[in-house]
Structure 1
Amino acid sequence: MFLKLMYITNSVDVALIAEKYGVDRIWIDLETLGKQERQGHIDSVKSKHSINDIKKISPKLTKSEMLVRVNPINPCSKEEIDKVIEAGADIIMLPMWKSLDDVKNFLTIVDKRVKTTLLLETKEAVECLDEVLENGGFDEIHIGLNDLHLSYHLKFMFELLANGTVEKICNKIKNYNIPYGFGGVARLGEGTLPAEKIIMEHYRLGSSRAILSRSFCNVDKTASLDEVKEIFKENMKTQRLFEEKVMKMSKKDFENNKDELSNCVEKIVKQMEA
């Protein structure tokens, strides 16, 4: 089965193009609390999305789901989550949770009105994962490599793939038959760490969802919607053809890729240190 692919945009036109070419989820990002402080020094997406964006896009989607990342649990969470559900979210994602209580509060507010996904991106979340899984009540988990690598004071987010952290987390979640994914993927042939190697790790580890990174289609660098269409058409076709190949690969292929990926990460980290 293909990976469920998610794309972050608050443009109606871009969302409909992404949906047309097979993107499974359109992602509206409302998270602002603490994000600049955590990620201000790295080149990550800092969104300026709003609840109105959900209202604009959600009614026009016919195949893709509307995923909304809200803020971490805070005194205004109930008000925010109620508005997000009313605006048309299909799935709500909770970022930066650090305890079972955070997760329980989130699930109580949502109250099964829509699907829920937990964004695991703190060292504390890794430490309380067993009790969170045992408690259950949510639909899926996504492992956020950007913040998680910062939480562990690492230099490069894919060190978490190379050092076995992601694999340990995936194995725990797998035992509960809960769908999970991790990180993002660039367009094939690109990325500091080649996208092909990361996709193979998704399949080796049983991951079933991934975020499409900015380099998959950087709308800020496109001249027109026609160009956006061409990029999505070409990149989604290439992505799915590669996934078809990966589905036929052997255990040995995956093990070799894992070793190559680790070597590649090691080289990248050494360059960063130099």
Structure 2
Amino acid sequence: MNRLAADTWTLTQRDLRHWIAQPTPVVIGLLFPVMTVLMFGFLFGGALSVPGGGNYREFLMPGMFALTMVFGMESTMASVVADAQRGVTDRFRSMPMASSAVLLGRSCADMLNAAAVLVVLVVCGLLVGWRSHGGFLPTLVAFGLLLLLRFALIWVGIYVGLLMRGPEALAAAQILVWPLGFLSSAFVSPETMPGWVGAVAEWNPLSATVAACRGLFGNPGVGASWVAENAVIFAVVWPVVLVAVFVPLSVRRWRGLGV
């Protein structure tokens, strides 16, 4: 266990040093959600209404927090594929280290990145008028649910990245992240969507986290459906299910590389 922890921390530091040496992708990753908030909050927000009434920017911010956790899958997949293309993965596999340490190091580094992105988005949200009205503990729980979603999606990204054979396949996989993000309650309520589309959006794991955060933050637009009323439960169950499925798949795929 001590060896696993030491190897994991070493590989986490490796990824952090890469970000320091090449900060451009990190900066772009931080600026993109800020630009999206400004675009939807100020350009489109006036044309959008919140079911039940309320400020659209307060409706938007929990969706943006969760959406950023989803879009983080793209950087996870890209990092895994880049390591494979450069031969780093093969070198790690030949070294005397815990076999799962590489994957855990990747997940720890991505979690630190997710926390940094959330801090930037919270500051941006406060500047455009968003506030949490739910109190300290519910607010803390909401951010915990956001990071739980990110942790689960990291393992989805790791597994998909390990399956990819090159940049073309990676680009196709990254494109599929967008429907997952936009076919949700992040920007508009599922109640305003056509029947089957709204049902898909309602059961999207992202929507569960969004609805839970809106409720915990005391922001408008939680929704009145059964899923929305039990959003906190689903915001825990969905990530736990994803972790239970994709951690074993990722470890098995890692161990089977080159076989």
* TM-score normalised over the length of structure 2: 0.27
Identify which of structures 1 and 2 has the higher relative contact order when contacts are C-alpha pairs closer than 8 Å and 6+ apart.
Answer: 2
Point out the structure with max Rg over C-alpha.
2
Between Structure 1 and Structure 2, the one with more strand by share is: 1
